[in-house]
Amino acid sequence: MTDNTLPLFTPEATVPIAAQHQITATQVSDENRIRFWPQHFGGIPQWMLLEPRIFGRMDRLCDNYRGGIWQFLTLSNGGAFMAPEAENNDEAWTLFNDMNGNSAEMSAEAAGIAACLIEYSHHACRTECDAMTAHYYRLRDYALNHAECNAIMHIID
């Protein structure tokens, strides 16, 4: 950049750089849950298998998982994922991935992110679908800025 050119984007001085590119998650309302999978994954082969496989993955990752209600969330970067509802926000979930031998404690949301990332990756490989790969990377980008990034990455490594 020379002295007489301006940057394409001039951030506000009061907003930290990290916050300017922050990916946010929004919970899907009850009335929109029915459209979640077809809206975000409808163009992906065998998309109807994703939800039960994520449930199964969580069952394998977490000995104390006994099913329950899951939240659907959309990301500001176009991604989407699901996470189990926690009975209380302080509840820690202990996950163990027998594929890599790693374990970690994390929140219900972080556990959902980890289960979804593993299943998104496997589904992308199974279907060889670029759109599924894009979903994986959108969620991974969110996970990389998540407060529990280290625990999530340790489980999915």
Is 106 exposed, middle or buried (CB count within 10 Å of its CB: 0-12, 13-18, 19+)?
A: buried
Instruction: Tell me if 110 is assigned to some domain.
Output: yes
Domain that holds residue 117: 25-33+46-84+93-156
**Residue 28 pLDDT:** 97
135: CATH: 3.30.70.3580
Instruction: Tell me if 146 is assigned to some domain.
Output: yes
Instruction: Tell me if 8 is assigned to some domain.
Output: no
Domain count, the chain: 1
**Residue 102 pLDDT:** 96
Is it the case that residue 11 has pLDDT exceeding 90? Answer: no
Instruction: Tell me if 113 is assigned to some domain.
Output: yes
Instruction: Tell me if 61 is assigned to some domain.
Output: yes
**Which residues, in sequence order, are bridge partners of residue 102?**
97
Is it the case that residue 16 has pLDDT exceeding 90? Answer: no
Instruction: Tell me if 15 is assigned to some domain.
Output: no
What's the mean per-residue pLDDT of the chain? 89
Instruction: Tell me if 98 is assigned to some domain.
Output: yes
Is it the case that residue 137 has pLDDT exceeding 80? Answer: yes
Instruction: Tell me if 78 is assigned to some domain.
Output: yes
